[in-house]
Amino acid sequence: MSRLRLIFSFRRLVHSFAYFGATLAAIAVFVLVLMLAESAVYLVTGMPVSVWAMVIAAIAAAFGFAPLVQSMQRALDRLFFRHQLDMLAAIRQLGAGDLAQLPLQDIESALLERIYNVSHRRYVALDERNRPDGGWYAFPANAPMVNELAHDGRHEAYDLCLELPDATGEAYLWLGPRVDSWPMDSEERASLESLAKFAAMSLEHARLTHQQAEAARLDSLSRVTKQLHSHDLKNRLHDLSFLAHHLASGKLDEEDVARMLTAIKKVTGRMQTLMQRMNDPNAPVDLTITPIDLVALLQRSVKDRLWPESITITDDYQRLPAVAGDGDQLQGVFENLYDNAVQSMQRQGSIHIETRVIENSDHQAMAEVRISDQGCGMTPQFLNNRLFRLFATSKSNGLGVGLYLSRRIVTAHGGMITAQSEGVGKGSTFIVQLPLWQG
């Protein structure tokens, strides 16, 4: 008790010194402003002494006094006293309720900013790279990155590494040095461990809330799709099939309608496949793997598609060995990438397609397809955290299902689909890598 009284008395003395120093500074400001104001009044009126000059100087000193006292008190507190972790304030800051109201891509950064504010650290980071769809998150964003293997709790840029409870993988909270450079004691470490557990609970609650919302949207989408399949879309498919049948009967000029006939058949096939997948985007992907000439598949898909008049297609096809894949499923993936490119460019611009053989991180030869557009591009945050998630879309009228399904199909092939963009308005490139046929 006497120790607390001594600390309190010392802090009052330090704050009194701040008031004394601020008073001297205010007097200096008063004298300086008075001299300047007197000079200005003398130049204008010829009067050597003015009441207005004294009023101006007093106002300047008065307005600067309180901010100066506060800044000096904060500086002296950082110099002489430790910042204590207030757990009640931390619980209020890290509450999961309002955290769950944020967009999914902002949850991690918002949580880290709150931990940063209550823990008095120069920077904090969350490492979830060993979780499914996890990543590295930091606040501020330029905080040092830790090697994935450095989970022994030691890193020269961080004071503490705390393992977070996580049922789906490994997660770690990294805490940088204190802003006041004081060393960490056992009491603060225990408080930070409790803070980390509470933060993990808040993060899990916010994510589960979003997952429940996505499940509800998925259920609604499934119901709507079933209704459309039973009524309007089913009738339209019947009409298109009926028209294709008559076009193929020979009663019309086949030379004029041959390309249209092929396009109509392609459209009906894609619509049927899309409706089956939209009925349950999480249904298992059933593949029929055969050796495929991927370049020929791409050439046919470009030739048979009805492109808008303002779209230009360029290509750079390098010869590829046979690819192990399901031709119909892969064509659906590339058709979806074409659709996205056309929409992002508002139906005018250039799309470039190229193929090559590359070596992946496991030193295996893979076939790679790159589809580039000149469209609206994507922000790094959307690209890294949201792009291939269900219902994630950067288009106002998009469902956020196509790329999610495309990634599931490519992954089922043993391949990988990624994207690159230099930013908003700078176009995008989608990269599909597929395994070669092992005959």
203 lies in the same domain as 298: no
Cβ neighbors of 265 (< 8 A, separation 6 or more) are 244
The model's confidence at residue 321, banded by pLDDT at 50, 70 and 90, is very high
pLDDT greater than 50 at residue 231: no
71 lies in the same domain as 101: no
205 lies in the same domain as 306: no
- Where residue 424 sits, what CATH number does that domain have? 3.30.565.10
> Is residue 112 within 8 Å of residue 164, measured between CB atoms?
no
> Is residue 29 within 8 Å of residue 64, measured between CB atoms?
yes
pLDDT at 212: 78
The model's confidence at residue 413, banded by pLDDT at 50, 70 and 90, is very high
Answer yes or no: is 161 within a domain.
yes
CB atoms within 10 A of CB 236: 13
211 or 375, greater pLDDT: 375
pLDDT greater than 60 at residue 106: yes
pLDDT greater than 80 at residue 300: yes
Answer yes or no: is 285 within a domain.
no
Answer yes or no: is 136 within a domain.
yes
Residue for token pair 């450095």: 150
Distance CA 16, CA 303 (A): 83
68 lies in the same domain as 97: no
What does the pLDDT look like over 118-166, one tens digit per residue?
888 899 999 988 887 788 999 998 899 988 666 566 788 898 898 887 7
Q: Which domain covers residue 308, as residue numbers?
A: 290-435
Q: What is the average pLDDT score of the chain? A: 77
Cβ neighbors of 114 (< 8 A, separation 6 or more) are 93, 94
> Is residue 278 within 8 Å of residue 225, measured between CB atoms?
yes
428 lies in the same domain as 305: yes
pTM exceeds 0.85 for this model: no
The model's confidence at residue 402, banded by pLDDT at 50, 70 and 90, is confident
40 lies in the same domain as 154: no
67 lies in the same domain as 93: no
226 or 54, greater pLDDT: 54
pLDDT greater than 70 at residue 206: yes
pLDDT greater than 80 at residue 190: yes
- Where residue 190 sits, what CATH number does that domain have? 3.30.450.40
309 lies in the same domain as 394: yes
According to DSSP, residue 106 is labeled G
264 lies in the same domain as 161: no
pLDDT greater than 60 at residue 232: no
Answer yes or no: is 118 within a domain.
yes
pLDDT at 439: 64
> Is residue 99 within 8 Å of residue 111, measured between CB atoms?
yes
> Is residue 369 within 8 Å of residue 355, measured between CB atoms?
yes
Work out the end-to-end distance of the chain between its first and last CA atoms, rounded to an integer number of angstroms: 81
pLDDT greater than 70 at residue 434: yes
361 lies in the same domain as 261: no
pLDDT at 5: 56
> Is residue 172 within 8 Å of residue 152, measured between CB atoms?
no
413 lies in the same domain as 295: yes
Distance CA 131, CA 128 (A): 5
pLDDT, average across residues 171-191: 83
pLDDT at 227: 46
pLDDT at 340: 86
Answer yes or no: is 224 within a domain.
no
> Is residue 424 within 8 Å of residue 431, measured between CB atoms?
no
- Write down which residue in 254, 279, 304 finishes a domain: 279
Answer yes or no: is 149 within a domain.
yes
- Write down which residue in 249, 279, 309 finishes a domain: 279
Answer yes or no: is 240 within a domain.
yes
The token pair at 101 is 């109201």
- Write down which residue in 64, 80, 96 finishes a domain: 80
247 lies in the same domain as 380: no
pLDDT greater than 60 at residue 397: no
The model's confidence at residue 230, banded by pLDDT at 50, 70 and 90, is very low
What does the pLDDT look like over 3-26, one tens digit per residue?
445 545 655 666 676 666 667 777
Cβ neighbors of 177 (< 8 A, separation 6 or more) are 121, 122, 158, 159
189 or 36, greater pLDDT: 189
Q: How many domains does the chain contain in total?
A: 4
pLDDT, average across residues 182-188: 77
Answer yes or no: is 284 within a domain.
no
